[in-house]
Amino acid sequence: MSHAVDAVDAAAIALNDRSWTPSHHELTLARDFFTRRDAIPQRLLPGMPQSPSPQGWVTQHVLWLEDVAHLAGELLTAWRAWLPDGHMIGLLGAYGGLARTAAPLAARLGRDWSAEWQAPPSKQDTSSWEDWHLPTEQRRQLDALTDRLVLIGAVMVMAVNRGETGH
């Protein structure tokens, strides 16, 4: 079992057995994270056309994960003095740590894209490029990572709700 899972499980258990009610600072941190995370713009690689799908390109999701990891790291650095080693810090650390695992893929996609495209490709060319550079197994791994992030986010939301109601 990983440290990230341990932190998430510990926070969920503490919420469920009511041994943890998030403090004002923890609530502020979580709200700030959610607000800033939800405002992160979808990035495209240079010259990448807009996706015909409302979900965007898979590459955009990978780049978003990279941005989320940076955001979590910035917030952890800023808040550690206020919230040393609490459950919310553990949750945000787990969230950022999992998102950070996509950074090598984001870097590789960026390198491959810039090496392979001199002129902006069509949407069809971009779709084929993603199929080649993000094969099915890689997409399954990204889906699993996203599922874990949703779980951590759900525990954070549960903590915010618990802290707001005090129950």
Q: Any idea what the Cα angle at residue 113 is, between residues 110 and 115, rounded to 5°? A: 105
- Of the candidates 62, 80, 66, which has an alpha carbon nearest to the alpha carbon of residue 25? 80
What is the mean predicted confidence (pLDDT) over 75-79? 94
What is the pLDDT, as a whole number, of residue 119?
A: 85
What is the pLDDT, as a whole number, of residue 9?
A: 93
What is the pLDDT, as a whole number, of residue 81?
A: 82
- Of the candidates 164, 165, 157, 162, which has an alpha carbon nearest to the alpha carbon of residue 19? 162
How is the chain split into domains, by residue range?
3-43+59-165
pLDDT at 97 over 70: yes
Q: Using one digit for the tens of pLDDT, what is the confidence trace for 106-138?
A: 999 999 999 998 888 999 999 999 999 999 999
54: which 2 tokens? 């409302």
Distances (CA, A) of 63 to 77, 142, 159: 21, 12, 27
What is the mean predicted confidence (pLDDT) over 140-145? 97
d(CA 31, CA 163): 11
Band of residue 166 on the pLDDT scale cut at 50, 70, 90: low
- Of the candidates 99, 92, 97, which has an alpha carbon nearest to the alpha carbon of residue 159? 92
Residue 78 identity = A
Distances (CA, A) of 34 to 79, 103, 117, 132, 137: 15, 20, 35, 33, 29
Among 33-42, 65-74, 118-127, which is the least confidently predicted range? 118-127
What is the mean predicted confidence (pLDDT) over 43-56? 94
Residue 51 identity = S
The alpha carbon of 95 is separated from its chain's Cα centroid by a whole number of angstroms, namely 6
What is the mean predicted confidence (pLDDT) over 78-95? 89
pLDDT at 167 over 80: no
Residue 142 identity = L
The alpha carbon of 21 is separated from its chain's Cα centroid by a whole number of angstroms, namely 24
What is the pLDDT, as a whole number, of residue 1?
A: 40
Among 46-50, 92-96, 117-121, 141-145, which is the least confidently predicted range? 117-121
Residue, of 71 and 5, whose pLDDT is higher: 71
Distances (CA, A) of 134 to 28, 111, 137: 37, 14, 8
* pTM score: 0.91
